C-alpha cells in the first residue's frame, strides 16, 4: 500500500513594528531581560490593551499579497491557558473571525509551479520567553517578547513533501521581507513554524491521524523533522497500528521527534471575544489604501524579468530572492539598458563580491547606477570586458565610480581604428616570419599577432577591433 | 447540571484547588446557579445579534510608537486635562511586586516541556 | 473644629477659600473621623502621612489664590482602583501586598482636580458581592445601624460618605455596586454611562460592565466628583470619545413635562412594602414638580439576573486568570511544581464567592457550553438593550424605579445562599447590561430607620437628565439632610 504525505504548516511571523500589538512598550529584539515592560506587558491588575494600527495594516498587506479575502468586521478573542510566559493567563488572538482567509501562495520547486492554499491569517500577541535550568529546578521568565505582534499564517494541508514544506516556508519568508513587515529571521525567532503531518493511502480522501511538531526554527530542521516523522508514521501504519494524535518537539541533536509532556491534556481554550477591545472594521477604502502601498511582489517581478527582459526563469528566481536584489538589478538595467549583461554582472561579479566581503546588499560600496555605468562603458566599447572586471574590483574596494577609475588609470581601451592599424602594421613589419606564416594560412598565428598588439598597447586595445583590423590588414597585404 | 467530577475538572481548568470535603457543597451551589440561568433557554433569540460592544464602538487604534521609561512626566499638575500614555516600567518596578526573582528574571518552578 | 469632615463640598470650599480652616485641618478632621468610625471598617488602609503632606502642598496653592472645584477636598478611593505606591488589594488576600507602580486614570484626574485621598476603601472581594461581606479584610458596617450591611460591593465607599468621614468617594458598579450601597446608606451614588469614565487602572471584574462612579451626600457634590473623573482616555479602548457636559448646569432646572417611565416589571409584589411605599411617595413628589409618570414595560427584566450571572462570571474568570503569584500577589510557599503552585496560590488567595464565580465562568465558556450559555446570554442582552431603547425613544425621558427590592439586611443573614444574594441586584443589573447611566438618591427610611433609595435611569450619555431630576427631587425633600446617629458609628 502506498501512502501519501499530507502536511499543513502554521507559520508565526513576528512583525517589525516599533511597539507591541497592544501597548507602547518596544517590540525590539535583544534587550536586557525584562527591559521592555509596562503594566499591559506584565498583565498588572487594571491594565488594558489598545490595538496598534500598524499591525492591522501589516495583516492587510500580507492578506493582499497572498490573494486573501480581507474580513470587514474583525474582533480579537481571548485564548485561555496558564503558563508563566503568558502574563494575563490568556493570549489575545483571533478565533473564528480572522482578518484574512482563503488565499494562496505560489512558488517554484524544481522548475515547476506549486500552489498551496492559505486557510487563514490572523493577528495575535506573542508570549514571553522561558529559560529552563534543570540544575536549580527553576525556570526564568523574560517578558520582553510578551505582546510582540504576530501574524499566524495557516496553510491548507496541501503540502506533499518535506522539501515542498521548506520551499513554501521560504516563499512566506520572501513575502514578508518584500512587504517589509518582518525580517523573517528563523534563528532569532521572527519566523517560526509548527508542522502538522499525517499519512494516508494514495487515493484516500479522508485525512489520517496527524501529529503536530512545534517550534521548528530553521529550514533544515523543518525538513529533517518532517522526514523523520514521515518515516516514523509510515513504520507504524505499515505494521498495522494506529498513529497517536499528539504534539511533538523536534530534537535537533538526534534528529527525532518526541511528545511534549505539557500537552498531555487536551486544552480547552475557552475562546470568547475580548471585551476590552472594540471591533476593528476594515472598510474597502482602507484595503485600497493599503493595496496602493504594496511593493511589487516576487511573482510580478519574476514575470517581468522573463517576459520583458528576456531572462531565464532560473535567473529571475535568483534575482527575486530578495526585494533589495531585484530593485538593485532594476536600477542597473535602467542605467545601462542591457538586461542580460546586467543579470550576468549582478549574479556573478556583484553577488560574489558581496559574499566574499560578508556584506549585505544594503552595505554595498557599489551603487546600482554605478554598476550600470560600468556596463555601459563595456557596451560602448570604452573598455573591454576583461578590463571591466578589474575596474569592478577597484570600484568595490574603493567606492569610486567606473568613470573615475578608468580616467584616473587611463584605462580607456584603444578603439581608434587608425591608431590600432598603425600598431598592427608595426607588428606585422616587426615579425616578418610570423607574418609570412600567417598570410600563408597558419591561422594560429592570428593569436600571436593579437597578443603582440595587446602587449604593445599595454592590454588596452579593443580586442574586437584588434581582431578585425589584423584580418583586414592581412587581407590587404595578401591582396597586394 | 454539573456532576462532582465535572466540578473537579472545572477547578483543574481554572487552577483552583478544591478541598475534597467541599466539592459536594460547591457542586450544589453551582447547580443552583446554573439551574437559575437555564431560564434563558425559553427566550426566543432567533435572528438576534449577540451584543458586541454596548455602544457600537469600533476602530479604537493607536499609532505605532515605542516609549521608554521616563518618556512622559508623571506629574499631575492642577487643572491639567491631558492623560499621558501608560508608563513604561523598569526592573525595580518588577522586583517590587514579584515574589521570586533571579537577577532581571522572574523565577518559577521548572517548566517541563 | 466641629465635624468639618461632614460638611458638603460647597461648605468646605467656602471654608477653605475664606481661610476659616486650612486643608491640613480639614484632612486631619477627616482622618480623625475615620479613626472614630473605625468600627465601621470602611478602610482597608488610611494614608494619613501622604494625605497630610498633600494637604500642606494644597494649603500653599490655596494661599497663592489657586482655585479648583475639588481643591483640598478629602476623599476615599475604592480599593479596586490602582493608586501608585499605595497598596491596592481589591478586597482580596491575593493582592494583600500589591503595590501598583502606576495610578489609575481616575486617580490622576482626581489629583489634577485637587482632591486629597485619605485612604483606600473596603469592598467585596474583586467587586463580587452586594453586602460587603466577602472582603478578606472583614465586613463593612452600615453607619445607620452597624449590625446591618451597607450594601456592596462598594460598601466602604458608601459607608465612609454616609458616616461623614469625607464628602465624596469613588466606587465601581458592575451590577449595582454603587447604586445599591448608596441606597442602603442613604446617600447619592451615580454609575455613569459605560465608557464615560476610564477603566484604566481599575482592577477588572467584568470588563463590559464595570464603571467607576462617585458617592456623595447630595446631588451637587455628586456632580462635582463625576465631572472630575469623566473623559476619554487613550489608555482605555472602551472609553468613549464623547464631550463631557458641565453637569452642574443641570442642577436647578425644572422638571416640567419630563416623562418619567415606571417599568411595570419593577413595581411588583416581590418588592418589600416599605420600599414600595417610599417609591410611591417619591413618584408623587416628582409629579408635583411637574414630571409626568408614564407606565412602560421592559419585558426582558426577568432575564437580566440570569444574563448577568453568565456574562459577569465568564469575564471575571478570564480577568482573574492573571492572579497566579508569579509577577505579583500571593504566592503559596513550599516546594511545589508549577501546576500545584498556581492552584495553591489561587486557592489560598481567592475567597469562596470569587472561586464560585470563577467556576461558573469557566463552565459557561468551556467548549460545548459556550453557545448555550455565553452566546445565548449575549443575545438576550441585546434584547434587554432594545427594551430600554424602545422605552426611551417612544415613551419616556428618564426611568424611575426602586434601587433594590429590599431594605438593608443584617450582616450574616444572607451570606449562605449565593443565589438569594444575586437576586438582590434585579433592578440594578439591567442598567449595566445596557450600559446606561443610573443614579440612586435617598427617598425615605424604613420604620427601623434604614435608608431606602430611588433609582433613576437615563439614556446613554444623558447623566444631565439624572442630575436634573435628582436635584429637583432633593430640593423638594429632606432625606439628604438626615445623618446617622453619632453613637451608631
Q: Give the tens place of pLDDT for each residue, C345-370.
A: 999 999 999 999 999 999 999 999 99
A460 has pLDDT over 80? no
Cα of C439 to nearest chain A Cα, Å: 24
**Contacts of A among chains (3+ CB pairs under 8 A):** B, C
3-state SS, residue B14? coil
Q: Do C379 and B45 touch (CB under 8 A)?
A: yes
Span of A90-104, A454-468, C236-250 with lowest mean pLDDT: A454-468
Whether residues C385 and B45 touch (CB distance < 8 A) is answered with: no
Sheet containing C292-296: order of strands: C43-46, C116-121, C74-78, C168-173, C211-216, C188-191, C438-445, C451-457, C398-402, C259-263, C292-296
Looking at chain B from residue 23 to 42, which residues have their Cβ under 8 Å from any Cβ of chain A?
Answer: none
Instruction: Compute CA distances A144 → A33, A269, A302, B88, whole Å.
Output: 7, 24, 39, 12
Confidence of residue A384 (pLDDT cuts 50, 70, 90): confident
Whether B26 is covered by a domain: the verdict is yes
The pLDDT of residue C54: 96
Among A33, A138, A268, the residue with its CB nearest the CB of B108 is: A138
A271: chain C residues, CB-CB within 8 Å: 365, 370
How many of the other CB atoms lie within 10 Å of CB of A136?
11
The verdict on A81 and A196 lying in the same domain is yes
My answer on whether A58 and A172 are in the same domain is yes
Degrees to nearest 5, angle at CA B58 with B54 and B59: 160
Whether the Cβ atoms of residue C394 and residue C272 lie closer than 8 Å to each other: no
B32 found inside a domain: yes
Least confident of A376-385, B61-70, C163-172, C423-432: A376-385
Q: Which residue has the cell 533589495?
A: A324
In-domain check, residue A475: yes
Alpha-carbon dihedral A177, A183, A186, A187, rounded to 10 degrees:
150
| Domain's final residue, options A356, A383, A408 | A408
A:C CB pairs within 8 Å: 97
Domain-ending residue, one of A286, A319, A337? A286
CA distance B71 to chain C (A): 14
Distance CA C343, CA A244 (A): 30
List the domain range (segments joined by +) for residue A362: 306-408
The answer to whether C382 contacts B17, with C-beta atoms less than 8 Å apart, is no
Question: Does residue B23 lie in a domain region?
Answer: yes
pLDDT tens readout for residues C252-306:
999 999 999 999 999 987 899 999 999 999 999 999 999 999 999 999 999 999 9
**Cα of A271 to nearest chain B Cα, Å:** 13
Q: Are residues A249 and A357 in the same domain?
A: no
DSSP state of A296: P
Residues in CB range of A123: below 8 A, 6 or more apart: A21, A55, A56, A59, A76, A93, A94, A99, A149, A150, A151, A152
Q: Is the dihedral of CA C134, C136, C141, C142 positive or negative?
A: negative
Q: What ipTM goes with this model?
A: 0.96
Phi, psi of A348 (to 5 degrees): -100, -65
The band of C3, judged by pLDDT with boundaries at 50, 70 and 90, is confident
Our answer to whether residue C78 is catalytic in this structure is yes
Mutate which: A20, A25, A44, A46, vs C, most C CBs within 10 A: A46
Long-range contact set of residues A313-321: C-beta below 8 Å, sequence gap at least 24: A313/A108, A313/A111, A315/A343, A315/A347, A317/A108, A318/A347, A319/A343, A319/A346, A319/A347, A320/A174, A321/A174
* Same domain, residue pair A120 and A20: yes
Number of domains in chain B: 1
Q: Are residues A70 and A151 in the same domain?
A: yes
How many domains in chain A? 3
Same-domain status, A34 and A106: yes
Q: Which of C28, C78, C191, C459 is catalytic?
A: C78
Q: How far apart are CA C154 and CA C174, in angstroms?
A: 10
Q: For the whole model, what pTM was predicted?
A: 0.93
The verdict on residue A185 lying in a domain is: yes
Report residue C213 as a C-alpha cell. Answer: 462612579
Contacts with B63 from chain A: Cβ below 8 Å: 52-54
User: In this structure, is residue B86 part of a structural domain?
Assistant: no
Per-residue confidence (pLDDT) for residue A385, from 0 to 100: 86
Tell me the three state secondary structure of residue A93: strand
Active-site residue identified among C6, C177, C183, C440? C177
Asked if residue A302 lies in contact with residue A113, where contact means CB atoms within 8 angstroms, the answer is no
Whether the per-residue pLDDT at C428 is higher than 80: the answer is yes
Residue-wise burial string across C160-190, b where 16 or more C-beta atoms lie within 10 A, e elsewhere: bbbbbbbbbbbbbbbbbbbbbbbbbbbbbbb
Instruction: Specify if A294 maps to a domain.
Output: no
Within 8 A of C82 by CB-CB distance, chain A residues are 44-46
Q: What is the distance, to the nearest Å, from the Cα of residue A185 to the centroid of all Cα atoms in its chain?
A: 10
- C-alpha–C-alpha distance, residues C178 and C157, integer Å: 9
Q: Which range marks the domain in which residue B36 is found?
A: 4-41
Domain contains A293: no
Cβ density class A260-289: b for 16+ within 10 Å, e for less: beeeeeeebbbbbbbbbbbbbebeeebeee
| Residue C238 forms contact with A (CB below 8 Å) | yes
Supply φ then ψ for residue A260, to 5 degrees: -80, 125
Instruction: Flag whether B19 is in a domain.
Output: yes
Residue A402 sits in the same domain as residue A421: no
pLDDT band at C96 (very low <50, low <70, confident <90, very high): very high
Query: Do the domain assignments include residue B90?
Result: no
CB nearest B85 (choices: A24, A139, A281): A24
List, as one string, the DSSP characters of A112-158. EEEEEEEEEEEEEEPP-EEEEETTTTEEEEE-TTTT-EEEEEEE-S-
Q: Give the pLDDT confidence of C157-216 residue by residue, as tens digits.
A: 999 999 999 999 999 999 999 999 999 999 999 999 999 999 999 999 999 999 999 999
Contacts of A239 (CB under 8 A, 6+ apart): none
- Strands lying side by side in the sheet with A211-216: A69-70, A100-109, A112-125, A149-155, A3-14, A191-201, A211-216, A247-251, A256-259
In a shared domain, residues A400 and A422: no
- State the DSSP H helix or E strand holding residue A425, giving kind and residue range, or none if neither: helix A417-430
Question: C127-154 pLDDT, tens per residue?
Answer: 999 999 999 999 999 999 999 999 999 9
Domain assignment of residue B33, yes or no: yes
Q: Are C437 and C458 in contact (CB under 8 A)?
A: yes
In a domain, A298, yes or no: no
Cα–Cα distance list, C323 to A42, B14, C122, C330 (Å):
11, 11, 20, 8
A-chain residues near B68 (CB < 8 A): 26
Residue A300 inside a domain? The answer is no
- Residue A291 in domain: no
Chain C's closest residue to B89, CA to CA, is C101
Kindly report the CATH number assigned to the domain that includes residue A467: 1.10.10.410
Residues A312 and A178 grouped into a single domain = no
Q: Quick check: is C92 catalytic?
A: no
Please give the pLDDT value at position A419. 86
Average pLDDT rounded to a whole number, residues A81-88: 96
| Domains of chain C, start order | 4-253+470-488 (3.90.1300.10)
Choice among A138-147, A215-224, C111-120 with the minimum mean pLDDT:
A215-224
Q: Is A215 helix (H, G, I), strand (E, B) or coil?
A: strand
Determine, yes or no, domain membership for B85. Answer: no
Q: Are residues A204 and A336 in the same domain?
A: no
Which of A255, A286, A317 is the endpoint of a domain?
A286
Residues 41-60, chain B, touching C (beta carbon < 8 A): 41, 43, 45, 48-51, 53-55, 57, 60
A33 touches chain C (CB under 8 A): no
Amino acid at each position: 500500500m502506498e501512502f501519501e504525505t499530507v502536511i499543513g504548516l502554521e507559520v508565526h511571523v513576528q512583525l517589525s513594528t516599533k511597539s507591541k500589538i497592544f501597548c507602547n512598550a518596544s517590540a525590539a529584539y535583544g534587550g536586557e531581560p525584562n527591559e521592555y515592560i509596562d503594566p499591559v506587558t506584565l498583565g498588572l491588575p487594571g491594565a488594558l490593551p489598545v490595538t496598534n494600527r500598524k499591525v492591522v495594516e501589516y495583516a492587510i498587506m500580507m492578506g493582499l499579497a497572498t490573494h486573501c479575502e480581507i474580513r470587514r468586521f474583525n474582533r480579537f478573542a481571548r485564548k485561555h491557558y496558564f503558563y508563566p510566559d503568558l502574563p494575563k493567563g490568556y493570549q489575545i488572538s483571533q478565533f473564528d473571525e480572522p482578518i484574512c482567509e482563503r488565499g494562496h501562495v505560489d512558488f517554484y520547486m524544481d522548475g515547476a509551479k506549486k500552489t498551496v492554499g492559505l486557510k487563514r491569517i490572523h493577528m495575535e500577541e506573542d508570549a514571553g520567553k522561558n529559560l529552563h535550568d534543570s540544575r536549580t529546578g527553576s525556570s526564568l521568565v523574560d517578558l520582553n517578547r510578551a505582546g510582540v505582534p504576530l501574524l499566524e499564517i495557516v496553510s491548507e494541508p496541501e503540502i506533499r513533501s518535506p522539501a515542498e514544506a521548506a520551499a513554501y516556508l521560504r516563499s512566506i519568508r520572501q513575502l514578508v521581507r518584500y512587504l517589509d513587515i518582518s525580517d523573517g529571521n528563523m534563528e532569532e525567532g521572527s519566523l517560526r513554524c509548527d508542522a502538522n503531518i499525517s499519512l494516508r493511502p494514495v487515493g484516500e480522501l479522508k485525512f489520517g491521524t496527524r501529529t503536530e511538531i512545534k517550534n521548528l526554527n530553521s529550514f533544515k530542521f523543518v525538513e529533517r523533522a518532517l522526514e523523520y516523522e514521515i518515516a516514523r508514521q509510515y513504520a507504524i501504519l505499515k505494521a498495522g497500528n494506529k498513529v497517536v494524535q499528539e504534539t511533538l518537539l523536534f530534537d535537533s541533536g538526534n534528529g527525532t521527534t518526541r511528545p511534549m509532556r505539557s500537552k498531555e491534556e487536551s486544552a480547552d481554550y475557552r475562546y470568547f471575544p475580548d471585551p476590552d477591545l472594540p471591533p476593528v472594521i476594515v472598510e474597502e477604502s482602507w484595503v485600497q489604501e493599503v493595496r496602493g502601498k504594496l511593493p511589487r511582489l516576487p511573482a510580478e517581478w519574476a514575470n517581468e524579468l522573463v517576459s520583458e527582459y528576456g531572462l531565464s526563469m532560473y535567473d529571475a528566481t535568483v534575482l527575486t530572492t530578495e526585494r533589495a536584489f531585484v530593485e538593485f538589478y532594476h536600477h542597473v538595467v535602467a542605467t545601462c539598458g542591457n538586461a542580460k549583461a546586467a543579470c550576468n554582472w549582478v549574479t556573478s561579479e556583484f553577488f560574489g563580491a558581496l559574499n566574499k566581503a560578508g556584506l549585505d546588499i544594503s552595505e554595498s560600496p557599489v551603487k546600482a547606477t554605478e554598476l550600470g555605468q560600468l556596463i555601459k562603458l563595456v557596451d560602448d566599447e570604452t573598455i573591454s570586458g576583461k578590463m571591466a572586471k578589474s575596474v569592478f574590483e577597484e570600484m568595490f574596494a574603493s567606492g569610486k565610480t567606473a568613470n573615475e577609475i578608468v580616467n584616473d588609470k587611463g584605462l580607456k581601451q584603444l578603439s581608434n581604428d587608425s591608431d590600432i592599424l598603425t600598431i598592427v602594421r608595426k607588428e606585422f613589419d616587426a615579425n616578418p616570419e610570423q607574418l609570412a606564416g600567417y598570410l600563408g594560412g597558419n591561422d594560429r598565428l592570428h593569436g600571436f599577432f593579437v597578443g603582440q598588439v595587446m602587449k604593445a598597447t599595454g592590454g588596452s586595445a579593443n580586442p574586437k577591433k584588434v581582431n578585425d583590423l589584423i584580418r583586414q590588414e592581412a587581407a590587404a597585404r595578401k591582396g597586394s | 447540571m454539573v456532576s462532582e467530577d465535572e466540578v473537579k475538572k472545572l477547578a483543574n481548568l481554572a487552577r483552583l484547588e478544591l478541598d475534597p470535603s467541599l466539592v459536594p457543597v460547591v457542586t450544589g451551589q453551582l447547580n443552583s446557579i446554573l439551574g437559575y440561568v437555564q431560564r434563558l433557554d425559553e427566550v426566543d433569540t432567533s435572528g438576534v445579534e449577540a451584543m458586541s460592544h454596548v455602544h457600537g464602538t469600533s476602530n479604537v487604534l493607536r499609532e505605532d510608537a515605542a516609549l521608554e521609561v521616563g518618556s512622559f512626566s508623571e506629574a499631575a499638575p492642577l487643572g491639567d486635562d491631558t492623560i499621558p500614555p501608560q508608563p513604561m516600567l523598569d526592573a525595580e518596578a518588577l522586583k517590587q511586586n514579584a515574589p521570586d526573582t533571579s537577577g532581571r528574571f522572574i523565577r518559577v518552578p521548572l517548566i517541563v516541556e | 473644629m466641629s465635624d468639618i469632615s461632614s460638611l458638603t463640598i460647597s461648605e468646605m470650599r467656602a471654608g477653605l477659600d475664606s481661610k476659616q480652616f486650612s486643608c491640613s485641618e480639614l484632612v486631619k478632621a477627616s482622618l480623625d473621623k475615620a479613626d472614630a468610625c473605625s468600627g465601621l471598617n470602611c478602610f482597608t488602609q488610611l494614608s494619613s502621612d501622604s494625605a497630610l503632606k498633600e494637604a500642606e502642598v494644597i494649603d500653599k496653592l490655596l494661599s497663592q489664590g489657586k482655585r479648583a472645584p475639588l481643591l483640598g477636598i478629602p476623599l476615599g478611593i475604592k480599593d479596586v482602583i490602582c493608586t501608585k505606591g499605595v497598596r491596592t488589594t481589591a478586597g482580596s488576600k491575593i493582592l494583600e501586598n500589591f503595590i501598583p507602580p502606576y495610578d489609575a486614570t481616575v486617580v490622576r484626574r482626581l489629583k489634577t482636580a485637587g482632591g486629597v485621598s485619605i485612604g483606600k476603601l473596603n469592598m467585596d472581594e474583586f467587586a463580587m458581592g452586594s453586602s460587603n461581606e466577602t472582603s478578606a479584610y472583614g465586613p463593612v458596617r452600615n453607619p445607620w445601624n452597624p449590625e446591618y450591611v451597607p450594601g456592596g460591593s462598594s460598601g466602604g465607599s458608601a459607608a465612609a460618605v454616609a458616616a461623614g468621614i469625607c464628602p465624596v468617594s469613588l466606587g465601581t458598579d458592575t451590577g449595582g455596586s454603587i447604586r445599591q450601597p448608596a441606597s442602603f446608606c442613604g446617600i447619592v451614588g451615580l454609575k455613569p454611562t459605560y465608557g464615560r469614565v476610564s477603566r484604566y487602572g481599575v482592577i477588572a471584574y467584568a470588563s463590559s460592565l464595570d464603571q467607576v462612579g462617585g458617592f456623595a451626600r447630595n446631588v451637587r457634590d455628586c456632580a462635582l466628583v463625576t465631572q472630575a473623573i469623566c473623559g476619554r482616555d487613550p489608555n482605555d479602548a472602551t472609553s468613549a470619545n464623547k464631550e463631557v457636559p458641565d453637569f452642574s448646569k443641570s442642577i436647578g432646572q425644572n422638571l416640567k413635562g419630563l416623562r418619567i417611565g415606571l417599568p411595570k416589571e419593577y413595581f411588583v409584589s416581590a418588592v418589600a412594602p416599605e420600599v414600595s411605599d417610599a417609591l410611591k411617595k417619591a413618584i408623587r413628589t416628582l409629579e408635583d414638580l411637574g414630571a409626568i409618570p408614564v407606565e412602560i414595560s421592559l419585558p426582558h427584566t426577568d432575564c437580566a439576573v440570569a444574563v448577568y450571572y453568565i456574562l459577569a462570571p465568564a469575564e471575571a474568570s478570564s480577568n482573574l486568570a492573571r492572579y497566579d503569584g508569579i509577577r505579583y500577589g500571593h504566592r503559596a510557599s513550599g516546594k511545589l511544581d508549577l501546576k500545584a503552585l498556581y492552584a495553591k496560590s489561587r486557592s489560598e488567595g481567592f475567597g469562596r464567592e470569587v472561586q464560585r464565580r470563577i467556576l461558573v465562568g469557566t463552565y459557561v465558556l468551556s467548549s460545548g457550553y459556550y453557545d448555550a450559555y455565553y452566546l445565548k446570554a449575549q443575545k438576550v442582552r441585546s434584547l434587554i438593550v432594545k427594551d430600554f431603547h424602545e422605552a426611551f425613544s417612544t415613551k419616556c425621558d428618564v426611568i424611575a424605579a426602586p434601587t433594590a427590592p429590599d431594605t438593608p439586611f443584617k450582616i450574616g443573614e444572607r451570606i449562605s445562599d449565593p443565589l438569594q444574594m444575586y437576586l438582590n441586584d434585579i433592578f440594578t443589573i439591567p442598567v449595566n447590561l445596557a450600559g446606561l447611566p443610573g443614579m440612586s438618591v435617598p427617598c425615605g427610611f424604613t420604620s427601623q430607620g434604614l435608608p431606602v433609595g430611588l433609582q433613576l435611569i437615563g439614556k446613554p450619555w444623558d447623566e444631565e437628565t439624572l442630575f436634573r431630576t435628582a436635584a429637583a427631587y432633593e430640593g423638594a425633600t429632606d432625606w439628604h439632610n438626615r445623618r446617622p446617629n453619632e453613637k451608631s458609628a
